[in-house]
């Protein structure tokens, strides 16, 4: 019999519990032992946090640490800031003198000027022994050579030759006046020209010997600069001696020529007597032999010819006398002119302060760099080396962009601040505005600036020339206006309307305002705020 297989499944038998499940249950119970304390700690912390005192609102802490500003009332000015430097309205510039005079040294050596005296001595010596009629007949050549010597310009010759000629002529000039002598130093000192201010040893060199202290106060009339005058004073002494010698030469020449004229008149009288005697001898012709008759006639003809010659020589002598005297007088006049120039040059080489003020030195190129003028510097004629500044007339020389010049007017007030003295603020006014623009430094030609000058209304001993400054020119002013700092004003992102945050108790309130004049720091509030209210300098909710 086949066993029957039932289609019904057999009921599952319960399996016995595994042995490994019991240790897992024990580990789970241990984990809960750790979680429960942790949850308790969090619960206690949350309870404490919930029961803590309420924290202060941001408005309350803002009173102690948040940047704020108070609305105040006062004048508000719209300003334009300029930059420039200080200067002086009243000042005197000292310029190296332009020295005048002959660079060739004409008429300086007294020995060279003695040519007229030498010529007159020659005239006197040549005519002193002409007492006989025979000697008078040969007087004209001697007189001609003497007058030629008198009218020659010995002083125009080189100094060494002129000095040597005068010394060897025996005209009473000492040999110590020559090139090797000590009486005149012109030959040794004069270097032979130049345009003034050249190398050392020149009469016209300009070397600073004394100079007042830079930045010191000077009074009107005080000597502030002196150039080395050694050579110029020696030149002056030489011209004093030359003028005295030339004047003596003129006087001696007049006297000697007057003596020669008298001698000539005596010769004429003697010749006239010889003519009269010859005419008387002609009356004896009837009793004379033929040979003596011819001799008497020849003697009369010769006497008359000599007489006519002497009359002609007198006219020529008078003309030559006047020419010689005039030549000596002109030479004396030129020497006196050079003396006057030397005196003026010696005076110009000592400069005095024309006004009371501050001594400011200029800069020159020295040793490869720009440096202030000091003692020992070699300067050149016409060079400004120093200024005397009146510190009571200080001004500010500034420049303004051509875009902003339309808002400036003469007389506008300004406050000037000094970079060297941050605590110093002086009032000023716009004094002058330039009419022609200038190019602003090395920038493009389209950037133009116009010069402007401000005059300080108050002075301070610390204000000196060439200080860098900034000036705030007041374009418009509102008196008794409520104003706030610029950082306290905010703009709406869409309408661009201005508003501020005003503190109301412990909170901040946004409030729209109406603005007035503004400058670089503050802005006037026409409506929306009252004096004494506190505004925020930054947004409190950020």
Higher pLDDT, 368 or 22: 368
Using pLDDT thresholds of 50, 70 and 90, give the confidence band for residue 115: low
**Structure confidence by residue, pLDDT tens digits, 503-512:** 888 888 899 9
Structure tokens at 197: 């201010």
* Alpha-carbon span 29 to 461, nearest angstrom: 94
* Alpha-carbon span 489 to 503, nearest angstrom: 14
Residue 169's pLDDT is 35
**Structure confidence by residue, pLDDT tens digits, 327-360:** 989 999 999 999 999 999 999 999 999 999 999 9
pLDDT beyond 50 at 286: yes
Alpha carbons within 13 angstroms on the beta-carbon side of residue 387 total 17
Higher pLDDT, 496 or 132: 496
Superfamily of domain 69-88+390-536: Efflux pump adaptor protein, beta barrel domain (2.40.30.170)
Average pLDDT over residues 459-485: 90
Higher pLDDT, 261 or 451: 451
Structure tokens at 51: 């029961």
Whole-angstrom distance between the N-terminal and C-terminal Cα of the chain? 98
* Alpha-carbon span 442 to 525, nearest angstrom: 42
Higher pLDDT, 465 or 161: 465
Residue 481's pLDDT is 85
174: which DSSP letter? -
Average model confidence (pLDDT) across the chain = 76
Residue 114's pLDDT is 58
CB atoms inside a 10 Å sphere around CB 120: 27
Q: Is the dihedral of CA 77, 82, 83, 84 positive or negative?
A: negative
Structure tokens at 514: 């109406």
* Alpha-carbon span 111 to 245, nearest angstrom: 8
If 0-12 CB within 10 Å is exposed, 13-18 middle and 19+ buried, where does residue 381 land? middle
97 and 206 in contact (C-beta within 8 Å)? yes
Q: What are phi and psi of 180, to 5 degrees?
A: -90, 0
Average pLDDT over residues 66-71: 87
pLDDT beyond 90 at 154: no
* Alpha-carbon span 12 to 196, nearest angstrom: 140
Residue 167's pLDDT is 34
Residue 112's pLDDT is 61
Residue 120's pLDDT is 53
The closest of 116, 113, 141, 117 to 127, measured between CA atoms, is 141
214 and 387 in contact (C-beta within 8 Å)? no
Residue 171's pLDDT is 35
Average pLDDT over residues 244-248: 92
Residue 304's pLDDT is 86
- Write the CB contacts of 38 (distance below 8 Å, at least 6 apart in sequence): none
Residue 32's pLDDT is 63
Helices 139-151 & 290-348, crossing angle to 10 degrees? 10
* Alpha-carbon span 386 to 368, nearest angstrom: 21
Across 109-113, 340-344, 374-378, 412-416, least confident range? 109-113
* Alpha-carbon span 98 to 495, nearest angstrom: 73
The closest of 434, 472, 516 to 74, measured between CA atoms, is 516
Q: Is 472 helix (H, G, I), strand (E, B) or coil?
A: strand
pLDDT beyond 90 at 138: no
- What percentage of the chain exceeds 70 in pLDDT? 71
β-bridge pairing 363-366 and 394-401: unpaired
Residue 14's pLDDT is 43
Alpha carbons within 13 angstroms on the beta-carbon side of residue 357 total 27
Residue 40's pLDDT is 75
pLDDT beyond 60 at 454: yes
Using pLDDT thresholds of 50, 70 and 90, give the confidence band for residue 519: confident
Q: Is the dihedral of CA 500, 504, 507, 511 positive or negative?
A: negative
CB atoms inside a 10 Å sphere around CB 406: 8
* Domain positions in the chain: 69-88+390-536, 97-204+229-349
3-state SS string for 402-421: CCCHHHCCCCCEEEEEECCC
Average pLDDT over residues 212-228: 93
pLDDT beyond 60 at 422: yes
Structure tokens at 490: 């905010």
Higher pLDDT, 117 or 322: 322
Mean pLDDT highest for which of 76-80, 86-90, 272-276?
Answer: 86-90
pLDDT beyond 80 at 272: yes
Longest Cα–Cα distance in the chain: 245
Angle at 473 between CA 469 and CA 477, to 5 degrees: 145
Mean pLDDT highest for which of 46-50, 98-102, 278-282, 288-292?
Answer: 98-102
**Structure confidence by residue, pLDDT tens digits, 387-407:** 999 988 999 999 998 889 999
Higher pLDDT, 306 or 54: 306
Q: Length of the chain, please?
A: 542
Task: Give the H/E segment covering residue 72.
Answer: strand 72-88
500 and 488 in contact (C-beta within 8 Å)? yes
Average pLDDT over residues 283-297: 83
């Amino acid at each position: 019999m086949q066993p029957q297989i039932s289609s019904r499944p057999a009921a599952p038998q319960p399996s016995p519990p595994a042995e490994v499940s019991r240790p897992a249950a024990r580990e789970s119970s241990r984990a809960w032992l750790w979680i429960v304390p942790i949850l308790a700690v969090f619960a206690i912390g949350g309870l404490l946090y919930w029961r803590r005192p309420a924290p202060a609102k941001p408005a309350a802490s803002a009173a102690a640490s948040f940047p704020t500003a108070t609305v105040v009332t006062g004048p508000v000015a719209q300003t334009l800031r300029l930059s420039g430097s200080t200067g002086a309205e009243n000042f005197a510039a000292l310029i190296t003198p332009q020295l005048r005079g002959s660079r060739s040294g004409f008429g300086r050596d007294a020995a060279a000027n003695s040519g007229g005296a030498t010529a007159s001595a020659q005239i006197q010596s040549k005519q002193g022994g002409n007492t006989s009629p025979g000697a008078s007949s040969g007087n004209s050549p001697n007189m001609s050579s003497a007058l030629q010597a008198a009218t020659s310009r010995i002083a125009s010759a080189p100094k060494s030759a002129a000095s040597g000629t005068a010394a060897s002529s025996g005209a009473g000039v000492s040999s110590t006046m020559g090139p090797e002598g000590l009486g005149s130093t012109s030959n040794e000192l004069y270097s032979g020209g130049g345009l003034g201010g050249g190398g050392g040893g020149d009469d016209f060199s300009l070397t600073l010997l004394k100079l007042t202290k830079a930045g010191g106060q000077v009074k009107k009339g005080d000597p502030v600069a002196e150039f080395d005058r050694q050579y110029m004073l020696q030149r002056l002494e030489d011209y004093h001696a030359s003028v005295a010698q030339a004047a003596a030469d003129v006087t001696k020449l007049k006297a000697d020529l007057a003596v020669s004229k008298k001698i000539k008149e005596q010769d004429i009288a003697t010749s006239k007597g010889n003519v009269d005697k010859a005419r008387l001898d002609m009356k004896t012709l009837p009793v004379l032999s033929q040979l003596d008759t011819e001799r008497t006639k020849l003697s009369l003809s010769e006497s008359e010819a000599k007489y006519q010659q002497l009359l002609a020589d007198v006219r020529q002598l008078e003309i030559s006398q006047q020419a010689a005297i005039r030549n000596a007088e002109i030479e004396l006049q030129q020497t006196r002119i050079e003396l006057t120039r030397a005196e003026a040059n010696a005076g110009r080489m000592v400069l005095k302060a024309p006004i009371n003020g501050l001594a400011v030195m200029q800069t020159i190129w020295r040793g490869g760099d720009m440096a202030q003028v000091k003692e020992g510097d070699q300067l050149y004629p016409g060079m400004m080396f120093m200024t005397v500044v009146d510190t009571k007339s200080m001004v500010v020389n500034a420049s303004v962009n051509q875009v902003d010049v339309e808002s400036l007017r003469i007389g506008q007030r300004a406050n000037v601040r000094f970079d060297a003295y941050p605590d110093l603020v002086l009032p000023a006014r716009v004094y002058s505005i330039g009419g022609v623009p200038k190019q602003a430094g090395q920038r493009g030609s389209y950037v133009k600036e116009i010069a402007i000058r401000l005059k300080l209304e108050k002075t301070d001993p610390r204000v000196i020339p060439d200080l860098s400054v900034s000036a705030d020119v007041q374009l418009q002013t509102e008196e008794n206006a409520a104003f706030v700092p610029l950082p306290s004003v905010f703009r709406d992102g869409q309408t661009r309307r201005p508003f501020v945050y005003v503190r109301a108790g412990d909170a901040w309130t946004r409030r729209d305002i109406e603005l007035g004049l503004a400058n670089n720091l503050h802005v006037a509030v026409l409506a929306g705020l009252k004096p004494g209210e506190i505004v925020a300098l930054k947004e409190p909710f950020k």
